[in-house]
Amino acid sequence: MCTRILWNTNHHAVLAGRTMDWPESTEPVLTVFPRGLERNGGMLGGTTVVADNPLRWTSGFGSLVTTVYGAGTADGINEAGLAAHMLYLDSTDLGPRDPGRPGLQIALWIQYLLDSARNVQEALDLLDTCQLVPVELRGFQASVHVALEDAAGDSAIVEYIEGRRQVHHDRSYTIMTNEPSYEEQLRLLREKVRAVQGLGHDRPSSEVPLPGNVNAVDRFQRAAYFGALLPEPADDRQAVAAILAVTRNASVPFGAPYREGRFKTYNTEYRTVCDLTGKRYFFELATGPNLLWAEIDRFDLSPGAPVMTLRPDGTDLVGDVSDRFTRAPAPF
């Protein structure tokens, strides 16, 4: 059900790792969007889902993202150094639709922010410009919350609970998973920290009892613990390896039981790392041994440039694959 880990305390790069945990393939495609694209926030793929007063905008920044089901954006970074991640939150409640406000279908939420903002504060300022509208993707309600971070290390978590927006904005908000709400996750983490401290401050870190299951609370606390232990890296390569190590530790192994319902397992499908300093985007498919990445500055992001895509499931894809992207068929 996804984990996001931000590392903004080392001296080499601001890095954010995330897992995509889902019961089936989300059909990820790495996609580069240039500036100057005319957007309609009422479209889901080729279908109109917000007919009354859809939000319309023109992309002001180019971005490198991972799409979901070809109908929205799940994760990505823009050329200004803003990154955004959508994670599942079952308790999401957007409230009733107000047709007097421009409507944005929720699967395009972070694409709107990446298109329009250069940092976390600018992204938060955009939240009042529209109203999010729920949609369904492949039989699943797109019930999500969003994590944002930028090249300065700023961070924000945005949720909609009982129809009201809740924002946690501070560079200290580095971990996000799923249920329960973020405020409750922070409370549970504080309780865990107090319990561990009660065991004695001289206890070796290898003997600290950690939750080891795959539910959202356990992953949140495990990622917070190991993320706080990361040593200062010697270089950018070691920094990326370090955040990947924690991201893999929070991943869900194949077959691990999670919940009842349509599917009982939500295994990790892929992992990404956003290098906000170097403007590189790393991608690792859980079913393959190869780590690949692309550098956003190597693409033509000028208005009128083509949308470029890459399906990341080829076993021959490894290392810098910036030159392996191909023009997407029009219209995109």
Task: Give a yes or no: residue 252 inside a domain.
Answer: yes
95, 69 Cβ separation under 8 angstroms: no
Question: Which of 134, 176, 139, 184 has the alpha carbon at shortest distance from 158?
Answer: 176
Contact 149, 8 (CB under 8 A): yes
Q: CA-CA distance, 8 to 67, in Å (whole number)?
A: 25
Look at residue 209 and tell me if it is in a domain.
yes
Strand partners, 161: 92, 164
Residue segments in the chain with a per-residue pLDDT below the cut of 50: 199
Taking the C-alpha atoms of residue 239 and residue 230, their distance in angstroms, rounded to an integer, is 9
User: Could you give the CA distance from residue 65 to residue 161 in angstroms, rounded to a whole number?
Assistant: 26
Contact 133, 94 (CB under 8 A): yes
Phi, psi of 258 (to 5 degrees): -125, -55
Q: Is 114 helix (H, G, I), strand (E, B) or coil?
A: helix
What pLDDT is stored for residue 240 in this prediction?
97
Q: What is the pLDDT of residue 199?
A: 47
- The CATH number covering residue 102 comes to 3.60.60.10
Q: How far, in Å, CA of 166 to CA of 222, rounded?
A: 24
The reply to whether 68 falls in a domain is yes
3-state secondary structure of 211: coil
Instruction: For 215-269, write each residue's pLDDT tens digit.
Output: 999 999 999 999 999 999 999 999 999 999 999 999 999 988 876 665 678 899 9
Print burial letters for 86-112: b (CB count within 10 Å at least 16), e (below 16). bbbbeebeeeeeeeeebbbbbbbbbbb
Per the prediction, the chain carries an average pLDDT of 92
Under 8 Å between Cβ of 159 and 165? yes
How far apart, in Å, do the first and last CA atoms of the chain sit? 28
Residues spanned by the domain of 293? 3-327
Q: How many CB atoms within 10 Å of residue 201? A: 7
Dig out the tokens for 42 from the structure: 């009422």
Cα–Cα–Cα angle for 72, 2, 332, nearest 5°?
A: 15
DSSP alpha helix (H) spans, 235-290: 236-249
When divided into structural domains, the chain yields a total of 1
The answer to whether position 332 is within a domain reads no
* CA angle (58 as vertex; 56, 59 as ends), nearest 5: 125
| Strand arrangement, sheet containing 268-275 | 175-176, 3-7, 15-21, 268-275, 280-285, 291-295, 319-320
**In the numeric block, which tokens belong to residue 291?**
């780590």
Structure tokens that stand for 130 in this block: 């529209």
d(C-alpha 312, C-alpha 29), whole Å: 7
H helices present in the chain, as ranges? 109-116, 120-125, 182-197, 216-228, 236-249
Q: How far apart are CA 285 and CA 272, in angstroms?
A: 9
* Domain assignment of residue 263, yes or no: yes
Q: Quote the CA–CA distance of 267 and 153 in Å, as a whole number.
A: 29
What pLDDT digit, counting tens, does each position of 77-114 carry? 999 999 999 999 989 999 999 999 999 999 999 999 99
Per the CB < 8 A criterion, the answer to whether 136 and 69 are in contact is no
